Amino acid sequence: MTGRVPLALVEIGASAGLNLYWDRYRYEYDGHRLCGDPDSPVRIASAVRGKRDPPLPPSPPNVAVRVGIDLNPLDVTDPDDARWLRALVIPDQRERHERLASAIDLVRERSPDIVAGDALDTLPDVLDRLPENGIACVYSTLTTYQLGENGVADLEEVLADRGRKRTIHWLSDDLFAERDRPIYRHVALSDDDRIETRLAEYESYGQWTRWIASPGYSSTGCVGSSG
């Protein structure tokens, strides 16, 4: 959808910023082609369920800006913070531990920009500082449940307000989906329009995904830039 226009990324609940560098990772979808950086030390393997093929791009989109927001940001260059990240992974899941270690090593070299604070307070200023020649993309994977319905409504109000100045693309889990079967969605907010598309069901640790959006989604969606 983005073409060659670069993304300006904002992640809500960024922790140490590992997911701010998703385009630097290697993705292997069972039965489908590879995506991401083929030479990346971070390998993410996932099965594809269902009858619809996900619209995998030949290469990741360009990323111009990466900003994270978190109440308590972690620093992967701090040994204590790195140990805490490792402690959050179930001990016998060796593949996840190896993946985390590789991601930490990769991000240590890049020093992600993470703003400390409540997203509802800091997000307006972060969005206002994004470059006008990029596509504003906010994502909050598995974060909205911490906000609750009222907090999510407040967050969407902030995004809709900024959507009157430029198109805001919001990628997030669906708060109202079943907890054991999360759903990822895309919401495009522009002027006073709101277009929501349910993209896929998925397993929280990436073991499988089921694409549920229409086959033409990737080519028919709107692409926003500065307005």
Give 168-187 as a DSSP string.
Answer: EEEEEE-TTS-TTS-EEEEE
Asked if residues 184 and 171 have their Cβ atoms less than 8 Å apart, the reply is yes
User: Sorting pLDDT into bands at 50, 70 and 90, what band is 105?
Assistant: very high
Q: Which residues span the domain enclosing 62?
A: 7-220
Q: Is 45 domain-assigned?
A: yes
Q: Is 225 domain-assigned?
A: no
> Across residues 84-88, what is the average pLDDT?
95
Instruction: Match 């998703």 to its residue by tokens.
Output: 22
* Residue 35 host element (H or E): strand 34-36
Q: Is 167 domain-assigned?
A: yes
Please tell me the pTM assigned to this model. Answer: 0.90
Instruction: Match 């709101």 to its residue by tokens.
Output: 194
Q: Is 73 domain-assigned?
A: yes
> Across residues 61-76, what is the average pLDDT?
95
Three-state DSSP class for 74? coil
State yes or no: pLDDT of 98 exceeds 60.
yes
Of the candidates 63, 180, 77, 73, the one whose C-alpha atom is nearest the C-alpha of residue 119 is: 73
Q: What is the pLDDT of residue 218?
A: 64
Beta-bridge mates of residue 12: 69
Q: If you ran DSSP here, which 8-state letter would residue 21 be given? A: G
State yes or no: pLDDT of 31 exceeds 90.
no
Q: If you ran DSSP here, which 8-state letter would residue 5 be given? A: S
Q: Is 2 domain-assigned?
A: no
Give 48's contacts (C-beta < 8 A, 6+ positions apart): 29, 30, 31, 32, 54, 208, 209, 210, 211
Max distance between CA atoms of the chain, in angstroms, equals: 50
Q: Is 227 domain-assigned?
A: no
Beta-bridge mates of residue 63: 7
Q: Is 205 domain-assigned?
A: yes
Q: What is the pLDDT of residue 221?
A: 42
Q: Is 18 domain-assigned?
A: yes
- Total domains, the chain: 1
Render pLDDT for 52-66 as a digit per residue (tens, 0 to 9). 888 888 888 899 999
Q: What is the rounded average pLDDT for all residues in the chain?
A: 89
User: Sorting pLDDT into bands at 50, 70 and 90, what band is 186?
Assistant: very high
Render pLDDT for 150-181 as a digit per residue (tens, 0 to 9). 999 999 999 999 999 999 999 999 877 777 77
**CA distance linking residue 50 with residue 63, whole number of Å:** 30
State yes or no: pLDDT of 226 exceeds 60.
no
State yes or no: pLDDT of 100 exceeds 60.
yes
> Across residues 72-80, what is the average pLDDT?
95
**CA distance linking residue 75 with residue 169, whole number of Å:** 27
State yes or no: pLDDT of 123 exceeds 90.
yes
State yes or no: pLDDT of 227 exceeds 60.
no
